[in-house]
Amino acid sequence: MRALVQRVASASVTAAEHPDAPAQETGRIGRGLVALVGVTHDDTPVQAERLADKLHGLRIFPDEDGAMHLSCAEVGGSVLVVSQFTLYGDTRKGRRPSFVAAAPPEQAEPLIAHLVQRLRAAGAEVATGRFRAHMEVQLVNDGPVTLLLEV
């Protein structure tokens, strides 16, 4: 699993069945993390659990001295999880990405759900996008701080 993680002051996501359909807000958070999450073929619930633990404990929030020593859990932050199969896009050849490394939706959706469940079980407030929908994510990147996590 991969996650592109951004520390945010706020974020929201809307989803629609297709780009021309009306969108509905499916998630909104204040201070916390936006995690764009991709799943590949050999990922299992173990990777989802490791990623959830990593997200919840990732120390990228400033302490009283301004050093990144605090986790999302420690600052009471929320997590916005958005599925993102394009994180496994391969652009090494040509100009059109290949998504062969991305897991099919039938495999990815339960793993994203497991990740969300694990975060909630750890005490995180979690908002989500909608799987297989056209989504628009709005965020205010705080820092900016952006990291790529792989488990």
Burial code of 124-144, b = ≥16 C-beta within 10 A, e = fewer?
bebbbbbbebebebebeebee
**Contact present, 149 and 3 (Cβ < 8 Å):** yes
Residues in Cβ contact with 86 at an 8 Å cutoff, skipping those fewer than 6 apart: 38, 97, 99, 102
The catalytic residue among 6, 47, 84, 128 is: 84
- Locate 32 and state its tokens: 């916390």
The catalytic residue among 85, 99, 107, 128 is: 85
The catalytic residue among 24, 44, 86, 146 is: 86
CA R_g for the chain: 15
Q: Which residue(s) pair with 98 in the sheet?
A: 90
Has 117 been annotated as catalytic? Answer: no
What three-state secondary structure class fits 138?
strand
What residues are annotated to the active site? 84-86
